[in-house]
Structure 1
Amino acid sequence: MAFVVKPLQSFTAEAQAQDSQKLYLYQIDPLLVDEEDGFNLRYYDDPKVISHIDAFCDSYMQGRYVPPMVVRALEDGRIVVIEGHCRRRGLRMAIARGARIPLVSVIPFRGNDAERVEVMLRSAQGLKLETLDIARGYQRLREMGFSVAEIAKSQSKTTARVEQLLLLAEADPQVHALVRGNHVSPDAAIEALQAHGEIAAEMLGKKLDEARQDGFVRLTKTTPRKPRLPRRTVEKVFAGVEAAMAELSPELSKRAKALQKLPEDERATRMVEVSAQMLVSMAQAGKEIERMKARQARRLAKLEAALTPLPLS
């Protein structure tokens, strides 16, 4: 496909369309490329998005190739970006830092509002949208009159997945905050919304607290609970304790009850003579408990290592 470069003057004067033989590029002042408030779905406070924009800035400053933005001309003459919002911000940042970029190539877009949203959702350039942002995009298409089936066909998704993401998009801000903060995975949030409806945020908060008590940093749909104690380990510990208790004479039992009434610091200074068998049994039970804790710690460390470094999308 051939590229035809045209000057800015022809941008609004001619139909902004493409034929099968030519792809029109327009050379325009980068400072003329604007952004429509509220159009882009991206969350600009996300550290990954900030890093992504910085990378574009560096590319512009180093003179490396950056794909052209897709833009359209509004009736008032403004030229706004349709696809390439992070590129635009990186470009502005590079210029603010001293880069000399008099002209930038852009590709014209002609289509309706729904098609603009579809282009943004399907865009494969650069950093992918987060699941919550995609959900908001589906919601926007729904508000434009698209059916669930039409959204699914447009985005190559199943109708069930579209319905799930629409449910997430319509959730209250507390649920969104948990997902946006990477405390709860989108699928865990969807599962809670399906099961608990309006109290999903409260239930997610409780489950997140439980997961953290079990040593996990993030609640996912498959976050496992703390591993159960192996039956063999429990039996060994109980056997050791039972053996020790069997060696406890009536006199020692009576003395233990009396000692329980004393403050802990005072009990720490008292000495009690026990049989060697009782001492060995208690020591074996204690050793088995330590082994059990060490095994649990290793399992939890492996699980936490798998959950902590969240994948960049």
Structure 2
Amino acid sequence: MKLRFCILFVSILIHSFSFSQNKKTPFTFIVLGDMPYNLPKDNLKFENVIAALNKRNQAFNVFVGDFKSSKTPCSDTAFQKILGYFNSFKKPLIYTPGDNEWTDCGKPQAGSYTTNERLSAIRAQFFKDTLHSLGKSTMELSSESSNVAYAKYVENKMWKYNGISFATIHLVGSNNNFNTDNLNSNEEFYERSNADIFWLNTVFEQAKKDNSLGIVIFEHADMITPDKGKEGFVTFLKELQKRVETYKKPVLLVNGDSHEYKVDKPLYENVELKKTVLNFTRLQVFGEADMHAVEVTVNPKNPALFEINQIWIPEINKF
């Protein structure tokens, strides 16, 4: 195991996007997800979203999953159309999958696919270049797949920018593909859960090693809302809270899934006293009918580090 850690960290040092020379310089990045949802009518709206975001001066963009609804086809043709959209972003775009791209593809409306086959298709099409982002201009990323023990997890990424550590972790809605009705069918869940915990720990260890000012983690699932399912997230959330409390510095978690813009502090040191884990903030992006985005400014002069602003895109109605 020690050898595997060494191999992974060497790969990270070689392939990660390098720190800027000035960690005190503010910068912005943009997050969005859960769109275009109702296809094909939302495609033109999404094109207007992209056009609006391409006029801004962000360092990069991150899409936190669900580029379609669970009731629209999961075909290779549909995937390739979205991939084309992602590559039309002027600035780098990093993508982490949602449940509608694969766990829900077994539904008749989605094409009655085998879910694991669609997951393999997502990995093959969207993560063909394991060491770079999508977009017209790309940025270097490190991938969990550089560790032979987790070679299939090409979607779990890490990068650094101006003193901040960033990572994507593959957790999805629909209870993270955990089947409560047939516990013997959860092989994919358990394997990915182990990979996600390993990657989470790697992210925090690397951030400490780099003396990062803070950490941003992107994933799809709304793990916080109780009715979204808890069995698929309980282990990850426990490990996340432990890591955040030990880390002390600001940590921002960005998710999609619930289609409701929200900024909150949902972790508690003491639930009865409502004492929050102060250095942890959750940002949930817009989605579905609200095809808008969120801009995050990293401001080292602000003790909270992350300044969050909504980006309303009226252009979605111009088509």
TM-score range, shorter chain: under 0.3
Higher relative helix content: 1
Greater RCO between the two (CA within 8 Å, min separation 6)? 2
Higher relative strand content: 2
Query: TM-score, normalization: structure 2?
Result: 0.24
